[in-house]
Amino acid sequence: MKVAIIGATGLVGSVILKVLEEQDFPFTQLIPAASPKSVGMQVKCKQQYFSVVSMEEALASSPDIAIFSAGGAISKIWAPQFAAKSCFVIDNSSAWRMQDDIPLVVPEINADAISPDTKIIANPNCSTIQMVLALSRLHEKYHIRRIVVSTYQSVTGTGAKALNQLFSEREWREYEPVYPHPIDLNLFPHGGTFEEDGYTSEETKLLNETRKILRDSSIQVTATVVRVPVKGGHSEAVNVEFHQEYDLKEATDLIRQTPGVIIQDDPATNHYPMPRFAEGCDEVFVGRIRRDFTQPNTLNCWIVADNLRKGAATNAVQIAQYLLKQFPGKFS
């Protein structure tokens, strides 16, 4: 079992290595790859050190699984080359997510979209993953009509340079700016790039990816993405309208029964999800579950998850674990 990590020295890549170790993923050879400036660096996994290699060397190693987290441009060039060598590619960028013949997978929801002949599998956007996982069983039961979501997204969603900007501002150090404004003691409604309709690419992803994962093109999603000076994870205020009436207790129980979801909802003791406690966790946390009294069939909730874990690395490793379990003959 040969596993390649493309972008192994990046923020998400380092977390992928950590999750592989925590899950004791059964590789016999680990192939970390990155840009030319990182070749020769050492990364650690399972108490071993591995030398970072070039993309060409990683491809020549013929891995069984390659987890990409090096950006869309790299994925567009290299993912098909790895796939052509009978390698399962799990891609964390937005490069392949909306391509019709490529599954966009949250394993707890739609792993069955993967077939033995699937060669490229797209990992959804971090904000989408936590939202659809929390709402998936509610959709099965009550059928979602419309979602209004405002996200409060950690700087780690932009990468290591953004995290450096936050703490450099806080500590009055020089830094290479990533954002158009200061982020410490500030927030701004800007995630991704602005499009002609006034929405950002991050906001559009929440619409398109939700429809694809939940297999329902009728779901309406309107989103506002906000970047906040937080490193522990992404938070979302979600207002969801169903096609039919729901029972609040039953809805809460459905969320609680969803694999990978934990309810934290006791306002009397100030117990609700927060990124400072979600950091380092694989679960999606849900709280502030309550009825919207301004219109029928509508529920409010608050969803928090570590965007580097379930929002990226953990979801990718879960896909790899599914491949091993479901198609063992492909790895013999």
pLDDT profile of the chain (332 residues), mean per 10: 96 97 96 95 95 97 97 96 97 96 98 96 98 98 98 96 97 96 97 96 97 98 98 97 98 98 97 97 98 98 98 98 94 80
Q: Whole-angstrom Cα distance, residue 315 to residue 19?
A: 10
Q: Whole-angstrom Cα distance, residue 71 to residue 64?
A: 21
Q: What angle do CA 166, 155, 232 make, to 5 degrees?
A: 100
Q: Are 234 and 126 in contact (CB under 8 A)?
A: yes
At 331 the pLDDT is 87
pTM for this structure? Answer: 0.96
Whole-Å CA distances, 162 to 155, 266, 297: 6, 33, 39
Ranges of CATH 3.30.360.10 domains, the chain = 127-307
At 332 the pLDDT is 72
Name residue, tokens 């993405």. 225
Ranges of CATH 3.40.50.720 domains, the chain = 2-124+312-331
Q: Report, at the CATH architecture level, how domain 2-124+312-331 is classified.
A: 3-Layer(aba) Sandwich (3.40)
Q: Are 130 and 303 in contact (CB under 8 A)?
A: yes
Where do the H-state alpha helices sit in 172-267?
201-214, 248-256
Catalytic option among 126, 139, 271, 281: 126
Amino acid type, 302: W
Closest CA to 320 of 332, 311, 331: 331
At 180 the pLDDT is 95
Q: Is 87 a catalytic residue?
A: no
Q: Whole-angstrom Cα distance, residue 16 to residue 61?
A: 20
191 φ/ψ angles, rounded to the nearest 5 degrees:
-135, 125
How is residue 85 written in tokens? 């060598």
Catalytic option among 234, 243, 271, 301: 234
Whole-Å CA distances, 40 to 36, 47, 51: 9, 18, 5
Is CATH 3.30.360.10 correct for 127-307? Answer: yes
Q: Whole-angstrom Cα distance, residue 308 to residue 290?
A: 28
Amino acid type, 211: R
| Helix 201-214 and helix 126-142, axial crossing angle in degrees, nearest 10 | 40
Q: Is 126 a catalytic residue?
A: yes
How is residue 136 written in tokens? 């998936």
